[in-house]
Structure 1
Amino acid sequence: MRGTDEHRNLELNQFQLDKEPMSLTFYGRANKTYKGGLNQRHISPKTIKHVFSDPKLFLIYEEYIQLVRMISTDENGSEPFYRRPLENKNNLKTFSKQCLGVNKLSKLMKSICEEGGLKGAFSNHSGKRTCATQLYQAGIQEQEIMGRTGHRSVQSVRKYKRPSGEMLEEISNVLEPPVKREKVEMEVSESTERMCSKSGCTGVTAYNNCVFEFKF
């Protein structure tokens, strides 16, 4: 998601954790590309399941959701997902019933990157762009990338593609004509002869395309 209103409208019951395997399922709702209604009756809101390879990430989600549920007054979890953290002298993690405001959410990614020491101009949209770029560079098919980013057309998701340094180098190697072997060997031979003439050495010091025959 990139829009601040999408983050502001997130609810706790849109996230489901499963331990076998350790995964998180996100159930999307109306957003920029999916408004619902008769015109989009053939389109379903996106559902994304992420299987964790790092258990620490799973535990972060699990702990946060448990803490928020402790202060929730709705059994169905239809309350805001983002809550204000509370300062605690005993270093206990607690959150307020009050949700984060629009202004705070709009600067959330920027604040995270600054505290992490990342330099550059970052916004909430940077997360979506980074997601699409990393999947593209890993060779993931466009259809699968669209399933994660929520794009409805290939043309839209292609705008987010950014080639990596390795990919650019590979393309350059393919397009650049190979240097001819004979030319390289000739240059090496001429360079060796010039070195011998300066140093006064005698005899053969380099052999190129030679056939040796020994008779006893």
Structure 2
Amino acid sequence: MAPLTDDTLLITDPALQATLEISKAAREQAQTVVDVFEKALKDAASSPGGAIPAEVLQQISKQQKLLMTYLAQLRGLHRNSHLKLRKTKTQSLESKHQVDSLHLQLQNLYYEQRHLQGEIAACEGFEHTYQSLPLIPVEDFLAQHPELANNEDMDENALMVARINHERAEREALEQQRLELQRRKTKLITENKKRREDLANLDKDLEKFIDAAKPIQKMFEKVA
């Protein structure tokens, strides 16, 4: 049998190191049993009776028991290694599933990131209606609101918001004026309609009065 090499020095797992040590001891013990048995056979062949002495048989039995002890230890270590290997495979499979799940989550995050970047780019390139609002010039606005001209917190965005609010306030005021004028117009139209109806009724009354006075007129004409 070939001797163990120094490659075992690369193994750092305590259980595997113990297995290799017991395996080496079992191999050496098996070789010892073989050597003792061969020597006993040779001695028996050269002796007159050709029998192996009892003390030699006892020594061989002792060496065999020691070998069986090593083999029992090897079987136990092999069983433990097998169980540990199954546990390691299970843990490796679970770790692989976790890595696959994390990788899938990472891909989803990359997809969400690209989607959000596209949405941001679309928002940045979107032409909002406020850009086409007929706002008054900045100089005129600041002239009407000098308190904003010296405001250090008034950046470009804040200034645009203030101008839009100003435009909204002006439009709301104009809308109120328009509604008031519309209300007054409606009232005048109603009053004019009422007056036209009154004049029409008056015309009818005059016509009735004239028709009723015609006989009297004719009577005065005859008297005259």
Question: Do both share a fold (TM > 0.5)?
Answer: no
More strand by share: 1
Q: Which has the larger radius of gyration?
A: 2
Query: Relative contact order (alpha carbons < 8 A, sep ≥ 6): 1 or 2 greater?
Result: 1
TM-score by length of 2: 0.21
TM-score by length of 1: 0.22
More helix by share: 2
